[in-house]
Chains A and B, each alone.
Chain A
Amino acid sequence: MSNSTTIKRLPLRKKRGPFLYFILPAALIVGVVLVFPIIYGFGLSFFNWPQVNDGTRAFINVKNYMELFKDNEFWHSLFLQLGFIFIAIPIELIIGFFVAILFNHDFPLSGFLRNLLLLPVFILPILSGLTWKLMLQPRYGAITYLLSLFGMEFPQGILSDQSLAYTAVIIQDIWRMWPFMFMILYAGITSLPKDIMEAAEIDGAGFLKKTFSITLPMLRGTITTAILLRTIDALRIFSEVFVMTGGGPGNGTMLFSLYIHKQAFEFGKLGYASAMAVILIVISLFFAFGLVRKNMDIDTM
């Protein structure tokens, strides 16, 4: 056996070396900004750590979780949060999908209009919230004025009514985020193979048939990704609602993240708020795993 044909096995440590060097910076960053806070927050959720008195931490086992499940406001905020997700995201998806289909056809100024439609996504959430608050102002709000032209008067203010305020928060989110859905779905639609569509057209398939039998099934992966990204984003919605309603009137728009903020930074209950944050992580993971698994199935089909 000549030396040239001998396969020299590198030691495992040497084999892993370059790989580790490349992954180390990312692992460090993820560790510091993600893994550590999650572990720390999880640990805190078993403590009573009030930012009052002498601020002493006391281990209380799962008491925060027990209290949480007895807290009506916790369930209420969770209900509002899930309602927000299940109402806003499907609407954003539907608008985004059909507008993406529309822009898949060439028409005059389509490029310009496409860019224009994306503008709301680039607006800071806090600015969006403030703008909507002003637009809904009963005395000089633009939306209030427009609604009054159609005979819909709200002299006491839209944001003064719990149901209307909740609706306004959802509409604000739909306005700001449907172009995000559009962006992703448009990219997906334009990358679909043209020949399948042409074949369908030759076979006499109409618009609805093509949309629901070809486009939608082929876009399932893209749609899942879009929903996943939006769901994660919607779970941590905070600033726009905070400036628009502050969680009010009453607790009518007290979404989950606002309630966590209130417990942590207004009431100074860091342990209790951490327990809620853990629940939020679990819900996020539940959504993520569910959707990703679905996505994987599609990929392996």
Chain B
Amino acid sequence: MRKLLVVLLTVLFATMMFSQSIKVLAWDDAHSQSWNTLLKDFEKATGIQVDLELIPSGSMLQKTSLNVTENKANYDLVAIDEGNVAKFGDLLLPYSQWPKGKVYPKVGTNDIPAAIFAAAEWGGQLVGIPNNGNMYIWMTRKDLINDEANKEEFFKHFGYELQVPQTLDQLMNMCVFFETKGIYGFAPFTATSEGATCEAVMFFESFGTSVLEMVDGKYEVSLDREKALQAIRFYKELMKFSPPGAMSMGHAERIGAFSDGLVFSMFQWPGIVPSHENVDESMVAGQIVYSAPPAGPFARTAVRGCWIFGIPKASENQAAAAEFAYWVNNHDVGLKLAEEGMTPVRTDLLNELSGEKPWYTGMAEAGQFAVSRPNRSVHYPELSEVIKNNWLGAVTERITPEEAVENMVKELNALLESYE
């Protein structure tokens, strides 16, 4: 009995001494909850105990600010919203210095679309690894474009096949066409929130101009007035083919309008797509084609908003933290995690699973055209506010497009000057 006790205590002591544990902080949703379901497998395979803390996304910035500093890291691995990479970038271990995985191989920069990996870029290097592939994907009503009568009539009017709009001009033609059928061509995003900045960035970039550009590590206003005006005017034209309430459409209104079968084509974030494909919530489930957004006169652009995993430089368990990040982004593990609700970010997984989840095709396509908002600045929220307010002012006709562009340039310059 005494011997057994000694053995047990020795085992317990050895376990305490030699087993490693890490603390991971991430936002709480179906995506991150999926990690919890298979956590035991990870712990068994690596011997690393994981204390996974999931909190509401709105609290992540505050919690990370308080717990990750230059000299302190109460978490070994933290999920960081792309918009906050500028704030924490200098505190994170560059990805090139992340140790190799003992059980799960280090994720290569080719495994994830480069445009998505760029979400982790700060100061000219990668400081983490994306753990979700959040970017605009384009949704088009399959039933409407496959309808023979629609196809014939459209071809007669416009001289080309009715299909998923490949360009914004085609989208406009289709808006005009479907108006005669009682279908709204497009649902804008015009609620007073970050989504409006995303719309502005997408259309400006599609028309060949950026609001801000990084020059020597600092943002400079680079808005081409003429191109910006074209983008705003085009968006206003599209809004003429939008459902009632187009002047204040947020996620709820857009989801409702599309799922009710009122809208032909619009962008959506991948996290919201499952509700459009849920037969209990949507009248168009199974009737949607997913693709990259249509191209503007200059480029095809999909606005990106990814979360990355970062390892604080002050963490004492960097190797174990890296192992966990590799596990989440591992191909074989990803297949199982996807079943539990995770949206993978790896190109191979998106393609392999697109049969079950057709929007993954759209994500893989859109990933090639992902653009970021000008969020590589600690002052991004203020910059975004100026872009959002003026864009919304113009598209909702509170001010003229000319005034909006002039205000945007003037106000952004004033803000940038104040940061000097």
Contact = CB atoms under 8 A, between A and B. Distances in A.
Interface of A: 50-55, 137-139, 155-157, 159-162, 245-251, 262, 266-268
A157 B248 contact: yes
Given A51-B65, A156-B247, A249 B379 contact: no
Contacts of B192: 245-250
Interface string B265-278: 00000000000000
A184 B384 CA distance: 45
Contact of B191 (A137, A246, A268): A246
Contact of B248 (A51, A55, A249): A249
A266 B244 CA distance: 30
Given A156-B248, A249-B398, A267-B379, 11 more contacts: A137-B253, A138-B244, A138-B245, A156-B247, A157-B247, A160-B396, A161-B247, A246-B191, A246-B193, A249-B396, A262-B385
B257 interface: yes
Contacts, number: 71
Contact of B245 (A157, A245, A248): A157
Contact of B378 (A53, A137, A161, A266): A53
26 contacts: A52-B87, A53-B378, A54-B69, A54-B70, A155-B245, A156-B244, A156-B245, A156-B247, A156-B248, A156-B396, A157-B247, A157-B248, A159-B248, A160-B245, A160-B248, A162-B398, A245-B192, A246-B191, A246-B193, A249-B248, A249-B398, A250-B398, A262-B385, A266-B381, A267-B379, A268-B381
Given A250-B393, A250-B398, A157 B191 contact: no
A137 B192 CA distance: 15
A247 B392 CA distance: 13
A268 B389 CA distance: 19
Given A245-B192, A246-B193, A249-B398, A156 B378 contact: no
Contacts of B382: 267
Contacts of B190: 160
Contacts of A251: 389
Nearest to A251: B389
A125 B11 CA distance: 57
Contacts of B247: 156-157, 160-161, 249
B243 interface: yes
A267 B381 contact: yes
B383 to A, nearest CB: 10
Nearest to B393: A250
A162 B396 CA distance: 11
Nearest to B87: A52
Nearest to B418: A67
A268 B384 CA distance: 14
B85 interface: no
B192 to A, nearest CB: 3
A156 B191 contact: no
Interface residues of B, number: 28
A156 B247 CA distance: 6
Contacts of A52: 87, 378-379
Contacts of B135: none
Contacts of B238: none
B246 interface: yes
Contacts of B385: 262, 266-267
B211 to A, nearest CB: 18
A155 B70 contact: no
B381 A157 contact: no
Contacts of B87: 52-53
Given A54-B70, A245-B192, A251-B389, A156 B246 contact: yes
A246 B191 CA distance: 9
A245 B245 CA distance: 14
Nearest to A253: B192
A55 to B, nearest CB: 7
A243 to B, nearest CB: 11
A87 B335 CA distance: 59
Nearest to B66: A55
B50 to A, nearest CB: 28
A55 B247 CA distance: 38
A54 B248 CA distance: 37
Contacts of A248: 191-192, 248, 392
Given A51-B65, A162-B398, A250 B244 contact: no
B248 A250 contact: no
Interface string B282-297: 0000000000000000
